[in-house]
Amino acid sequence: MNYKAGICNFCGTGCGHLLNVEDGKISGVFPSRNHPVSKGRLCVRGWHIHELIRTDDRLTTPLIRKNGKLESASYDEAVSFAVEKLKGIKKPSEELGFLASPRSSNEENYLFMKLARSVFKTNNVSIQSESGQRESLNVLYKGTGMAGMLGSIEEIKKAEFILVVGTDITKQNPIIGSEIHMAAMNGSTVVTICSRKSQIAKLSDIHLQCKPGSKKILLAAMAKGLIEKNLHDADFVQKYTEGFEGFANSLGSLNDGDIESLTGVSAQQIAAVVKNLSEAKTAMAFFSSGISGLDEDTISYIYNLFVVAGKIGKEGCGVNPIAGIANLQGTYDMGVAPDLLTGFQSIKDAETAKKFGKAWGADLPVENGKDVYDLLAAKKLKGLVVVDHDELIVRQQKAIDDLDFVVYFGAFNNPFTELADVVIPIGTYVESDGTFTSTDRRIQLSHRKVEPVKGIQAGWQVYSMVAAKAGAKWNYDSPAAVMAEIASLTPNYSGVKYDKFKGIGGIQWPCNDKYPQGCPRFNAGDAKGKIKFVSVSANFKGAEKNTEFPYLMMTGKAQHFWHQNNLMRRTFIPMREYNATLLLYPKGYVEISPEDAKSIQVRDKWPVKVVSPYGSMKVTVKVTPDVKSESAYVPYFIRDMISEFLMEHKELLEQGEDAIIPVRIEKV
Amino acid sequence: MFLIKKNEVLKLAQELEKSYAVYGPVVEKESGQAFLTKVDSVNDIDLNAPIPALPPKSVVFPQIEKILGYKYDRNSKNVDIKMVVVPQAKAIFGLRSCDLAGIQCLDRFFLGQEFVDDVYLLHRKQMFIVTNTCTKPFAQCFCACTDSGPSAKEGYDLNLTDIGDSYLIEVGSDKGKELCEKMGLQKSEAAHAAEKVKVVDKSLDSFEKEAVENKAWISRVMNRITTGFIKPQVWEFIGDQCFECGACSFVCPSCSCFNIEDFNKPDTAVDRMREWDSCSFEGYTRMAGDHNPRKPIEDRRNKRFFCKLSYSQSKKYLRPGCVGCGRCAWVCPGDIGLPNVVTYVRREITEREINE
């Protein structure tokens, strides 16, 4: 049988697939019909993963930079050289950073984190490619103690009411979008809050096309409506929660009369949605936690709205952030963050630190680390260790160039190797066993399917080699042994064992004594203490435009542009689709409404200049009724757009999807 | 016609294994999913397996394959071109009748027109096909509506039908007859043939009860699709649900569209690859000079159903392009598998007739 069951490694949905292995090469992919999440579906990316995995553009030997040129070396030479240099960094807690990959397996991320903390004595270990995920986890952890999706993708069909906030979900996580669409076809009420007419907006029963930057206000208005009309779930609030009054008070400063002018959504429309939500027995909320994710305040409002409506903690309910990368959830679960150990345990917690120190037989640095990006920006860093990653390049190429020493671990040739002093190849995810945790906390085991490229070691072996060179004794004979150690240190993973992964579908954490086979959702009774309303700001100011900058510009992702296209450009069909857009709009585009096109006097594909208070760029216009008048939308899919224009708005962009740039659009 | 005892039926595959690479329905253990693929051992073949997820076109038209290799030497200005290696002759054992209809459509596309596709021919020639009658339909089947089942009528070398204790073997070619004679199989009698008719009738009768997932009244919409008298709103309703994943084309036994890419290898050699493509992609219909005759997604969707259901396209295939296997319905992230589209179009016809 040449088809072997596995898990798709692109986005965080965790779809099941089967890879066709012929003559030791992956030469096809097919959806897994019995998989509980994907049920026989894959998206355009998933259908072409074999094009990526079969590429010959691989790192096939360790490389050491000598006189400016990378030269072949043995693993032993490369690892020795790297360890010597890294050990030479005097203040690792300030000068050394570890940048992990959200595509690596749990086992590899865990060992990488352990390497940073226990061997090289730094807590500067992070990913930060999807900061919105951390903000979502913060909110959910504060509220419920569960740092992960509260619901389950498998239960979408049981939700009578589904709220989609912002995300273009049918493009970014298409199979979750599909589940929502299927639920809608079977009678669930789907409501989308989005300033653009995205595909999911078109497929929804109600589309609240709010003004850019006003999602939070709209959500607050919905919560206010629920409470004022006494449509909230008072029994649930009374029995399970605390902090209701505080939340209700913070809504007080929202003036009912202002809502329509701030959001562009009428009171009747909001009342209709509030009624639907309160009448539904079950409800779920979805929002992207990715690069175009929401800010923490908006996420808090979504969460509080669902708590006040009594729509968490039971079957068919939940507040569900959607991870954009295969093992993004798992990477946080493995403690790849400056302030966390595995399972969202705080590094500052003395008991936890003691437990890890004892298990690892090492003294751990006690102070929280810093984010690698912040360290780069602060120019304090001397050494950097990076895994399978080059998104950083777009923003930080110069800062990295200035570092003393850079180590790169990866499977593929990529632009980052040009910045590295040592390049150490590791196997791809099909060349080793490993678990991946998808967005609904689903831990799935992906078996080795092909022999590694000649002489190439798996990541977990390479990290052990590095540890050994640095004098630490790690004795793992397999990824299963790594997972055994993770389970012993992580309450949420305590029941996870490789033996338990029978068939397909994996195990959803918490997997512990209470739930030995995992648990699909957060159950209200499992909260430690009461479920908390999280604190929110009472700031209801909309994004401001003025006569000089009359358009509110949103930013987002283009359909076939995905994580700077490092992976996609190794495929054929998805790359061609990206090129189809690129050829039509070689300098990128800004979407404006037909009315605005008329007033600026431009037609589709005509060049314009977009001017903001911080900078300007030349792009072409795409005229579409998908945006409202006085709104504009820029999907970033061209590097120049990111590096030359959008990066100038870094502070605004850090606010996530609701980052709105007031601009002027001029005919050229 | 011949007979073979039920528990001996795999002996046919064993005989074929002597001269062919044998492909058949096998269940992958971890996922429990059936695939029509090259078998490690003929004993793995499961004739009762559900309709294989992977259409048999992967045997004659792989998902991705090298069709040519070349290397250009800058100094000598020589190009060294190499054809692909000729694959071993293949036998498909246990093919469902709908999937055979799919291969026949592919034959007419790749071989039956002005140009003959050499690479396809390499896979297809000397092929031995053993079909297997469906004694009852699966939940997603509608071959009864597309004239492609439950038992194959032509195009096979041998056709098996489970008639109780034995399989009845119908012979479709000299090659098939020779194989049966060589194995010294028992000749069947008229009663056995009559038994097969009963089996097929019973299978057809059970569509109402068993094939519950899809009801597609194909003939009712062929006329509309051919003439194009379908409201644009219907196509927009369908287009809005398209996620542009290409899955419907990839799993379709009769979809033949492909893409060609030259893949540069690190050693400067080039592999020319051919792979499955889909009309749902914008880049697929885009032409040089940025002209795209089917830019909106609904126009691309409407093309697919024209290909599967119009009379003009059926003339090329000598049958409808849709073979009634139902795969597109279960891989679609929208809700626009072919049977559903037929339903949407029919609903519109009904509304129109009421209004008129």
Residue A559 pLDDT = 61
Same domain membership, residue A293 and residue A209: yes
**Contact (Cβ atoms closer than 8 angstroms) between residue A120 and residue A96:** yes
Distance from CA of B63 to the nearest CA of A (A): 6
Predicted confidence band at A657 (pLDDT cuts at 50, 70, 90)? very low
The amino acid present at B173, given as its one-letter code, is S
Chain A residue numbers with beta carbons less than 8 Å from the beta carbon of B62 are 27-28
Between the alpha carbon of residue A354 and those of residues A331, A343, A350, A485, B295, the distances in Å are: 22, 16, 6, 15, 61
Same domain membership, residue A201 and residue A232: yes
Helical spans, DSSP H, in A520-568: none
Chain B residue numbers with beta carbons less than 8 Å from the beta carbon of A29 are 63
Same domain membership, residue A351 and residue A210: no
Q: What is the chain B residue with the closest CA to A59?
A: B266
A327 found inside a domain: no
**Across the interface, do A16 and B31 touch by the CB < 8 Å criterion?**
yes
Q: What is the pLDDT of residues A124-142, one digit of tens each?
A: 999 866 567 888 999 999 9
Residue B281 pLDDT = 92
0.90 surpassed by complex ipTM = yes
Question: At a CB cut-off of 8 Å and minimum separation 6, what does A374 contact?
Answer: none
Same domain membership, residue A117 and residue A209: no
**Across the interface, do A42 and B331 touch by the CB < 8 Å criterion?**
yes
What 8-state DSSP symbol labels residue A537? -
Would residue A495 be called left, alpha or beta, if left means φ above 0 and alpha means ψ between -120 and 50 degrees?
Answer: alpha
Residue A55 pLDDT = 81
Establish if B9 touches chain A: CB-CB under 8 angstroms: no
Residue A574 pLDDT = 87
Same domain membership, residue B253 and residue B163: no
Establish if B262 touches chain A: CB-CB under 8 angstroms: no
Distance from CA of A178 to the nearest CA of B (A): 5
**Contact (Cβ atoms closer than 8 angstroms) between residue A170 and residue B245:** no
Mean pLDDT of A478-507: 95
Distance CA B61, CA B120 (A): 6
Q: How many CB atoms lie within 10 A of CB A517?
A: 9
B71 found inside a domain: no
Mean pLDDT of B245-262: 94
Q: What is the pLDDT of residues B146-166, one digit of tens each?
A: 999 899 999 999 999 999 999
Distance from CA of A492 to the nearest CA of B (A): 26
| CA B226 and chain centroid, separation | 22
Same domain membership, residue B130 and residue B53: yes
B142 found inside a domain: yes
Q: What is the chain A residue with the closest CA to B332?
A: A41
Same domain membership, residue A72 and residue A162: no
Establish if B245 touches chain A: CB-CB under 8 angstroms: yes
Q: State yes or no: pLDDT of A392 exceeds 60.
A: no
Same domain membership, residue B165 and residue B126: yes
Residue A653 pLDDT = 56
Q: What is the pLDDT of residues A20-62, one digit of tens each?
A: 998 888 999 999 999 999 999 999 999 999 998 888 778 999 9
**Contact (Cβ atoms closer than 8 angstroms) between residue A552 and residue A665:** no
The beta-carbon neighbor of A174 closest among B261, B331, B333 is B333
Chain A residue numbers with beta carbons less than 8 Å from the beta carbon of B274 are none
Which residues in chain B (55-74) have CB-CB distances under 8 A to chain A? 58, 62-65
A452 found inside a domain: yes
Question: At a CB cut-off of 8 Å and minimum separation 6, what does B30 contact?
Answer: A4, A5, A503, A504
**Across the interface, do B290 and A44 touch by the CB < 8 Å criterion?**
no
Same domain membership, residue B152 and residue B122: yes
Same domain membership, residue A280 and residue A371: no
Chain A residue numbers with beta carbons less than 8 Å from the beta carbon of B249 are none
Mean pLDDT of A650-664: 66
Mean pLDDT of B184-210: 94
How does the average pLDDT of chain B come out, rounded? 91
Same domain membership, residue A228 and residue A361: no
**Contact (Cβ atoms closer than 8 angstroms) between residue A507 and residue A442:** yes
Of the ranges A104-108, A526-530, B296-300, the best mean pLDDT one: A104-108
**Across the interface, do A28 and B58 touch by the CB < 8 Å criterion?**
yes
Least confident of A432-446, A541-555, A606-620, B7-21: A541-555
Establish if B7 touches chain A: CB-CB under 8 angstroms: no
Residue B352 pLDDT = 62
Would residue B296 be called left, alpha or beta, if left means φ above 0 and alpha means ψ between -120 and 50 degrees?
Answer: beta
Predicted confidence band at B173 (pLDDT cuts at 50, 70, 90)? very high
Q: What is the chain B residue with the closest CA to A584?
A: B290
B100 found inside a domain: yes
**Contact (Cβ atoms closer than 8 angstroms) between residue A104 and residue A455:** no
Same domain membership, residue B296 and residue B256: yes
B27 found inside a domain: yes
B69 found inside a domain: no
Establish if A13 touches chain B: CB-CB under 8 angstroms: no
Distance CA B258, CA B274 (A): 7
Angle subtended at Cα A222 by Cα A217 and Cα A225, rounded to the nearest 5 degrees: 120
Mean pLDDT of B268-275: 90
Same domain membership, residue A158 and residue A82: no
Same domain membership, residue A269 and residue A199: yes
**Across the interface, do A41 and B332 touch by the CB < 8 Å criterion?**
yes
Same domain membership, residue B259 and residue B204: no
Q: Tell me, what CATH number does A158's domain have?
A: 3.40.228.10
Which residue, of B161, B183, B210, is where some domain finishes?
A: B210
Q: State yes or no: pLDDT of A656 exceeds 60.
A: no
Residue A459 pLDDT = 95
Which residue, of B154, B179, B210, is where some domain finishes?
A: B210
Same domain membership, residue B317 and residue B283: yes
Same domain membership, residue B308 and residue B169: no
Same domain membership, residue A413 and residue A366: yes
Structural domain including B236 reads 218-355
Same domain membership, residue B331 and residue B275: yes
Q: What is the pLDDT of residues A553-580, one digit of tens each?
A: 887 766 666 665 667 777 888 888 888 8
- Cβ-Cβ pairs closer than 8 A, A with B, add up to 141
How does the average pLDDT of chain A come out, rounded? 89
A534 found inside a domain: no
**Across the interface, do A577 and B282 touch by the CB < 8 Å criterion?**
yes
> Which of B59, B123, B243 has the most A C-beta neighbours within 10 Å, making it the best mutation to test the interface with A?
B243
Mean pLDDT of B323-336: 93
Mean pLDDT of A336-353: 94
Least confident of A40-49, A181-190, A218-227, B208-217: B208-217
The beta-carbon neighbor of B245 closest among A56, A174, A579 is A174
A510 found inside a domain: no
In this structure, the dihedral spanned by the alpha carbons of residues A77, A83, A86 and A88, taken in order and rounded to 10 degrees, is -100
Residue A420 pLDDT = 92
A328 found inside a domain: no
Establish if A16 touches chain B: CB-CB under 8 angstroms: yes
Residue A637 pLDDT = 66
Which residue, of B210, B234, B256, is where some domain finishes?
A: B210
The beta-carbon neighbor of B241 closest among A5, A203, A577 is A203
Same domain membership, residue A317 and residue A173: yes
A513 found inside a domain: no
**Contact (Cβ atoms closer than 8 angstroms) between residue A50 and residue A18:** no
Q: Specify the DSSP element, H or E, that contains A601.
A: none
Give buried/exposed letters for A555-565 (b at 16+ CB in 10 A, else e).
bbbbbbbbbbb
Residue A588 pLDDT = 83
Question: At a CB cut-off of 8 Å and minimum separation 6, what does A96 contact?
Answer: A86, A89, A116, A120, A122, A124, A381, A382, A383, A384, A385
B141 found inside a domain: yes
Query: How many angstroms separate the first and last alpha carbons of chain A?
Result: 60
- For B165, the token pair is 């204790």
pTM: 0.93
Share of chain A above pLDDT 70, in %: 93
Mean pLDDT of A145-170: 93
Among A615, A611, A619, A609, smallest CA distance to A650 is for A615
Q: What is the chain B residue with the closest CA to A605?
A: B290
Distance CA B342, CA B319 (A): 17
Same domain membership, residue B281 and residue B152: no
More confident residue, A617 or A487: A487
Q: Per the structure, how many domains does chain B have?
A: 2
Same domain membership, residue B169 and residue B194: yes
Q: Tell me, what CATH number does A9's domain have?
A: 2.20.25.90
Same domain membership, residue A419 and residue A308: no
Which residues in chain B (178-207) have CB-CB distances under 8 A to chain A? none
Predicted confidence band at B250 (pLDDT cuts at 50, 70, 90)? very high
Specify the length of chain A in residues. 668
A659 found inside a domain: yes
Chain B residue numbers with beta carbons less than 8 Å from the beta carbon of A571 are none
Q: State yes or no: pLDDT of A649 exceeds 70.
A: no
Chain A residue numbers with beta carbons less than 8 Å from the beta carbon of B283 are 573, 576-577, 579-580
Residue B216 pLDDT = 76
Structural domain including A480 reads 63-129+337-501
Least confident of A423-432, A542-551, A659-668, B250-259: A542-551
Q: What is the chain A residue with the closest CA to B244?
A: A44
Which residues in chain A (120-149) have CB-CB distances under 8 A to chain B? none
More confident residue, A547 or B349: A547
In this structure, the dihedral spanned by the alpha carbons of residues A99, A104, A109 and A115, taken in order and rounded to 10 degrees, is -60
Strands A405-410 and A383-387 turn out to be: parallel
- The sign of the torsion formed by the CA atoms of A262, A264, A268, A269 equals negative
Residue A642 pLDDT = 61
Between the alpha carbon of residue A56 and those of residues A3, A389, B79, B271, the distances in Å are: 21, 18, 22, 11
Q: Per the structure, how many domains does chain A have?
A: 4
A542 found inside a domain: no
Chain B residue numbers with beta carbons less than 8 Å from the beta carbon of A157 are none
Q: State yes or no: pLDDT of B236 exceeds 60.
A: yes
Strand partners, A30: A18
Same domain membership, residue B194 and residue B338: no
Establish if B173 touches chain A: CB-CB under 8 angstroms: no
The beta-carbon neighbor of B40 closest among A1, A51, A185 is A1
